[in-house]
Chains A and B, each alone.
Chain A
Amino acid sequence: MSADDWFRTDRLPHIYCTGCGNGTIINCTLEAVDAMGWNKNDTVFISGIGCSSRAPGYIVTDSLHTTHGRALAFATGVKLANPRLHIVVFTGDGDLAAIGGNHFIHACRRNVDMTVVCMNNMIYGMTGGQGSPCTPVGALSTTTPYGMGEPVFDLAELAVTAGANYVARWTSYHVTELTRAIQTGLETPGFSFIEAMVQCPTAYGRRNKLRQVSDMITYLKTHALLMQKKKRMEEEGEPIPPEMFAVGEFTRRSRPALGVPK
C-alpha cells in the first residue's frame, strides 16, 4: 500500500484553493499512517469545521466530520467506546484554539490515545479570512482591518502544559520532518499533537504582502526557529524575535493515557 491508496478519489476535485498548503499536510499524514501499516478498516479520521476539517472527506476510511470546535470531544467518545480503532484528528487554528479551546486542553489532560494534526494557517480560511487566535500581531484580516492587536496562542506549548504525551511543530516547508513527527505521534500511546504551520495565500497572504505561494512558504521557513537553536539562544541570553516560532519536538513522554488498547 502507499499513501495514495488512502485517498477517496471519487470525491475529487477537492475544495482547496490554488496554492493551499493543506494538501501537503494531508499527504504527510497519510504517508505516516501508511508507514504504520494500519488497516483502513481500523482507522478513523475525525475533524471539526473549517478548511482543514474537510480533509477526512477525501480519505477512504470511516470518518466523522463534526461540529465546529468539537472534534476532540467526538473523538474521545469514539476512542473510549472502541479502543481498537486508531484515531487521527484534523483540525485548524480557529477550530482548535478558539471555539474548541476547552476540548483541546482537556483532551491533552486526559491524554486520550489519538493523534491530532492541526493545520495552523493563522486565519479563518473557510469564512474568508477573519482573524484567529493564531493570527500574528499586526497582521491584517477582515476582522482586524487595523492589524491584529491580540497576542498569538502558542498551541504546541499549550499542549505540553496541558499534558499531551507527544508534541511537535513543523511547517509545510519541512515535509520530511513533519511526516516523521506525525509518525512518532501515531506511534506514541496517549495524546499526540502535531502543529503544522501552513500557507494560506488566498485568505491570509493576499492581505499581508504574501500573495504568492512561494512568498508564504518562505515566510514559514524564515520564521521557523529550530528548537535546538532556540534553546541555545535562550541559554546565551540572546533575544528571540517575537514573530519567530519554534519548530521541532516539544515533548515526548509517557504520562498515563486513556483509551490505549490493552
Chain B
Amino acid sequence: MTRIEFMQGNTACAEGALAAGCRFFGGYPITPSTEIAEHMARRLPKVGGTFIQMEDEIAGIASVIGASWTGTRSMTATSGPGFSLMMENIGYAAMTETPCVIVNIQRGGPSTGQPTMAAQGDMLQCRFGSHGDYSIIALSPASVQEMYDLTVKAFNLADRFRVPVFVMSDEVIGHMRERIEIPETVPIVPRNGLEQGVLPFAAGEDKIPGFPEFGRGFGVHVTGLTHDERGYPEATDPKIHAGLVGRLVAKVEDARHEIADYSVTSEGAEIVFITYGPTTRTVRQLLHDRPEAGIGHLQLRIVWPFPEKVLQAFPKARAFIVPEMNLGQIAREIQRHTCVPVVSVPKLGGELHTPDELAAVLEGLL
C-alpha cells in the first residue's frame, strides 16, 4: 500500500535508494548532503547492508566502485568540495563501466563557497569533470517526491547502462520537507550478467557488456587502463582506444532520447521556460499566477545525456527562458541545439529565483 509521509528531500533520497535495493553506502560527511549518509547509517545495517564512513570522498567513491563489483547496488552522497575530490575515480567508474550512483546536493561554489546555500553550479562538472572523453547520466529532482523516484531510477539506469549515474540535486530540494507518496514496491531493472563464454568487455548492439560479478568464476581483470574486450591492458593501440572510448560515449548518447525524462506544458506557447531541479517550482508558480499568459514549460528530469529533440515539442517558440542557479551552464547546451533565442536567467547567491524575477523577464519578451 502506498504510504503518505512528510519527509525531507535528503531522507527521501536515502529511502529511494533503499527501496531500489542499495545495500552499500560509502561516504564522507559534507553539508548539505550529510542527512543522506546519516539516514543510510541508521537504516542499512537493519536491511543487511553496509554503511561505511570513509576517510575522505576519494575513498568514499572508491569503496562504492569496489562494492559494486560484488554485484551490490552501491552509492555515495556529497556536495561541491567532495564532488571535486571524486572526479578521478568517477572517470575510473566510466572507464571500467562500473554501475554506481553519486548524489550531489549542490551548494554554492567554487571552493568552500556557500555550504548551507543552494546552487546548480556543478552541472557541467558532473558531465565533464573527469579527464578524457566519456559519458554519464544525470538526473535533477524538483521535489521531495522526485528525489525519491529519481533516486530509484538512477540505480536502474546505472545497472542498465553500466555508468556512474548522478542525482544532481541541491540544498533547496535536499533540505525541503514536503508530502511524499512512498509506493509499496518500485520498479527494479537488474544488471545484465555476463554470459559464460563471452569476453567480459565485448558488447552487443546496445554497446553494453554483460556484468561479470566478482566471486562468480569469471576471472575478470578490471583496469582503468585502455583495455581490449578481454579486459587486458592495451594502452598503445590507437584503434583499441578509439573503439573503447567511442563505445563508452555512444552507449549513453545513442540512447539519449530513450533515456529522456521530461514534462511539457503548453506545446503551442511562444515563450517557453526550460528548467531542471528547483527552478521548476518557481516557473510552476508563475504559470499558476498567470494562466492567461500562455507560457510554455519544459521540465527536464534527466539533463545528461541532453535530449535535444525535446526542444522541437514547442514549434511556435520564439524564446526559451532558462533560469538556473549558476551562470547559464545548461542554457549554453540548449543554445547549441536550437535557432530559437535562448534567454539565460542566471542567479548566484544561494537563493532560488522568485516568481517576480521571472515575471520581469517574461514581460520584457511579451
Residues of A participating in the B interface, judged by any CB pair closer than 8 Å: 8, 11, 40-42, 44, 46, 56-57, 60-67, 70, 73-82, 84-85, 102-103, 106
Contact = CB atoms under 8 A, between A and B. Distances in A.
B290 to A, nearest CB: 51
A81 B50 contact: yes
Q: Which of A41, A70, A79, A84 has the most CB of B within 10 A?
A: A70
B215 A77 contact: no
Contacts of A65: 221-225, 233
17 contacts: A41-B216, A41-B217, A41-B219, A44-B215, A62-B214, A63-B222, A64-B69, A64-B214, A65-B224, A66-B62, A67-B62, A70-B89, A77-B65, A78-B67, A81-B70, A82-B71, A102-B56
Nearest to B213: A62
A63 B362 CA distance: 57
B215 A80 contact: no
Interface string B79-123: 000000000110010000000000000000000000000000000
Nearest to A75: B66
Contacts of A57: 221, 223, 232-233
Contact of B219 (A46, A62, A79, A81): A62
Query: Interface on chain A toward B: helix, strand, loop, or mixed SS?
Result: helix
B305 interface: no
What is the size category of the interface that chain B forms with chain A?
Answer: 35 or more
Q: Which of B52, B66, B92, B219 has the most CB of A within 10 A?
A: B66
B88 A84 contact: no
Q: Which 6 A-B pairs have the closest CB atoms?
A: A77-B66, A77-B63, A81-B67, A73-B62, A73-B59, A82-B70
Nearest to A57: B221
Interface string B130-154: 0000000000000000000000000
B26 interface: yes
Nearest to B215: A85
Interface in B47-76: 50, 52, 54-56, 58-60, 62-72, 74
Contacts of B72: 81-82
Contacts of B306: none
B74 A81 contact: yes
A34 to B, nearest CB: 16
A44 B67 CA distance: 12
Given A82-B215, A85-B70, A102 B55 contact: yes
A62 B215 contact: yes
Nearest to B72: A81
Given A44-B215, A80-B24, 4 more contacts: A40-B217, A65-B221, A81-B68, A82-B215
B218 interface: yes
A78 B224 contact: no
Contacts of A66: 62, 65, 92, 224
Interface of B: 23-24, 26, 50, 52, 54-56, 58-60, 62-72, 74, 88-89, 92, 212, 214-225, 232-233
Contact of A103 (B26, B59, B71, B88): B59
A185 B69 CA distance: 24
B70 A73 contact: no
B89 A77 contact: no
A63 B221 contact: yes
Q: Which of A46, A62, A80, A85 has the most CB of B within 10 A?
A: A62
A97 B311 CA distance: 52
A41 B37 CA distance: 32
A60 B24 contact: no
Nearest to A53: B223
A174 B31 CA distance: 51
A76 B25 CA distance: 12
Contacts of B63: 73-74, 76-77, 80
B55 A77 contact: no
A74 B61 CA distance: 8
A85 B215 CA distance: 7
B228 to A, nearest CB: 11
A11 B234 CA distance: 11
A122 to B, nearest CB: 25
A211 B217 CA distance: 42
A164 to B, nearest CB: 15
A163 B215 CA distance: 28
Given A44-B214, A81-B74, A82-B72, A73 B54 contact: yes
Contacts of A81: 23-24, 50, 66-68, 70, 72, 74
A40 B214 contact: no
B58 A41 contact: no
A62 to B, nearest CB: 4
A121 to B, nearest CB: 21
Given A67-B62, A85-B214, A78 B69 contact: yes
Contacts of A60: 219
Contacts of B74: 77, 81
Contact of A42 (B24, B69, B215): B215
A77 B221 CA distance: 17
B70 A76 contact: no
A78 B88 CA distance: 19
Nearest to B24: A81
A52 B85 CA distance: 25
Nearest to B200: A62
Nearest to A109: B55
A226 B341 CA distance: 77
A8 B230 CA distance: 12
Contacts of B212: 62
A62 B220 CA distance: 5
Contact of B50 (A74, A80, A106): A80
